Amino acid sequence: MAPPLIQLKDIRLTFGGTPLLSGVELNVAPGERVCLIGRNGSGKSTLLKIAAGLVEPDSGTRFVQPGATVRYLPQEPDFGEHKTTLAYVESGLAPGDDHHQARYLLEQLGLTGDENPHDLSGGEARRAALACVLAPSPDILLLDEPTNHLDLSTIEWLEQELDSRRSALVLISHDRRFLTNLSRSTAWLDRGRIKQIDRGFASFETWRDEVLAEEERDQHKLDRKIVDEEHWLRHGVSGRRKRNVKRLANLHALRAQRRNYRGTSGSANLAAAEAEQSGKLVIEAKGISKAYGERKIVENFSTRIQRGDRLGIIGPNGAGKTTLVNLLTGGLQPDSGTVRLGANLEMATLDQHRESLDPKSTLAEALTGGRGDHVMVGGKPKHVVGYMKDFLFAQEQRGTPLEVLSGGERGRLMLARALAKPSNLLVLDEPTNDLDLDTLDVLEEMLGDYEGTVILISHDRDFLDRVVTSVIAPEGNGKWIEYAGGYSDMLSQRGADLKRETAKAQPVAEKKEERTVAPVSAPKRKLSFNEKHALETLPKKMETLQADIAKLQRVLDDPNLYAKDRQKFDDTSAAIAKAHEELSAAEERWLELEMLREEIEQA
């Protein structure tokens, strides 16, 4: 067997209280594909940072084969002082590496190399970070949630790219399909220790259940043995003194073993607060269209959504998924066509953007709106600590600032806020981001039990297959088609030749058609100074407006405001309506300018 490229031995780390890592062992051989599995907060990301040499453990050793190159993909990349994405990617190259690989990977990932890294969206930042770690073709790739914020076509491209490489991989991901397709061994980080099998993720859940069942049997045997020994202590302490002393010491050891046992953590208790039943018809759209300038986002789309349907919407980033949802739910008016909403609709929304939360506020304040110790769940008060425990937060985290929460914890917080509102229509935009596999299972069960209707935007293929009853996918030039079944059913209906439609294929095809029609002698369009300035400043303006809306909403969330101060209620309502109008106008203007910039660059 080949010697390991990287070896962690007896790694121990404690951040106060219970040890995070207790004697962890991990070996990665050349070409090995390891998926690192564990609950949120179990220490997966910390262990990966230790393997990358970025975090020093309390004790233990880290060994890397001399001459082996290691590259680490964090969940949140640090772009430092780099002015362009190309400069950032090239910074990861070693002397002698092929610099053409940097630009090639950026192009494959839909970036030009000229972007300012600090202005990138979440998906663009993830693609730039992937290019940075892939460009040197390292011996070991340590990837922490590489599929977060990526669309389906990019995830599939990444799968093929990683599968074709000879690098050893250690993967942390919530994407079951991604892990199944790439992993060949599984390392399960559970209660501070690692258990490992030489089988990929497809075998993990069956193996885990067997391990936990055997552990439960062992604990039951231990409990019975302690009971027997305690009975002897009460009734049978006679005979030889030396033997009795030894047996008493053994009883103390058994008790200590039982006391130090760290049982498995409980499961999240996700439940949506359900409103009264909606009408049988939830949404009916007939021939709706929406365009921004020359770009068609939705063209002549019709659908009928009935109570209990689970609708999945997929497509590349920028294809218009959120716009389509806003059209269907009445948040945006179509240019043509009609949308009819059913009777008695109560909608709860989970937005993928979490920046509206004040990072300095505490977990309890985010759940209660800063009002007292209770959360209104389905119109009824529930103590905030009890509600926190439903979503796997410890009582000690009540005063934790949001800025120190992990990605998974922020995801659970947003779910907790969304599910507290009574609803019969759930609109979930990327709900699986950052959630661990156990929480995904509970979320899946909750959606299965939910009596209302679900509209789901997701890039998680396995989750779509498990949850939705139909899928809407873009076909290009504003056309959207609805397919019965989940993601795999959609692929089989579309045909294998359409499986790998990329995010950039559609816009490029459209631009070619436009250039063919345009006169050859037409002068090349350039962005004016005002247009350039607007492109640079509008994102900050939109962030400010979103923060203002969140602040005003917290004021309106006070159920007694109308009775206490009618004038303040009216002023705040008017202000939030105006802010929403300004935000909508800013978003539309930014999108128009962004489309114009892309057209100019493609010309």
Binding-site residue positions for ATP: 38-45, 315-322
Query: Do 323 and 333 touch, CB atoms closer than 8 A?
Result: no
Helix or strand holding residue 340 (H, E): strand 336-341
Quote the DSSP letter at residue 201: G
Binding site per annotation, positions: 38-45, 315-322
In DSSP notation, 394-460 reads -GGGGG-BGGGS-HHHHHHHHHHHHHHS-BSEEEEESTTTT--HHHHHHHHHHHHH--SEEEEE---
Query: Hey, what are 168's tokens?
Result: 């050893």
CA dihedral 34, 409, 119, 127 (to 10 degrees): 20
Amino acid at 201: F
> Beta-strand (E) ranges in 54-198?
59-64, 70-73, 140-144, 168-172, 185-190, 193-197
Q: For residue 457, what are the β-bridge partners?
A: 313, 429
Q: Residue 18 burial by CB count (10 A; 0-12/13-18/19+): exposed, middle or buried?
A: exposed
Residue with tokens 């436009």: 514
- Listed residue (320, 286, 317) closest to 301, CA to CA: 286
Of residues 482, 480, 457, 510, the one with CA closest to residue 288:
480
Taking CA atoms, 99 is separated from 91, 111, 134, in Å, by 10, 16, 12
- At residue 257, what are phi and psi to the nearest 5 degrees? -60, -45
- CA pair distance 151, 487, nearest whole angstrom: 13
Tell me the three state secondary structure of residue 113: coil
127 is written with which tokens?
């693609």
Closest CA to 250 of 272, 228, 276: 228
What is the rounded distance in angstroms from the CA atom of residue 166 to the CA atom of residue 193? 28
What helix, strand, coil percent values describe the chain, rounded to 5? Answer: 45, 20, 35
CA 450, distance to chain mean position in Å, is: 22
Q: Are 230 and 250 in contact (CB under 8 A)?
A: no
* Residue 150, SS3 per DSSP: coil
CA separation for the pair 24, 311 (Å, rounded): 42
Candidates 71, 78, 53, 65; CA nearest to 28 is 65
Question: Rounded CA gap, 104 and 118, in Å?
Answer: 21
Distance of alpha carbon 152 from alpha carbon 148, whole angstroms: 11
CA torsion, points 127, 128, 129, 135, in degrees to nearest 10?
100
Residue 82 CA, distance from chain mean position:
26
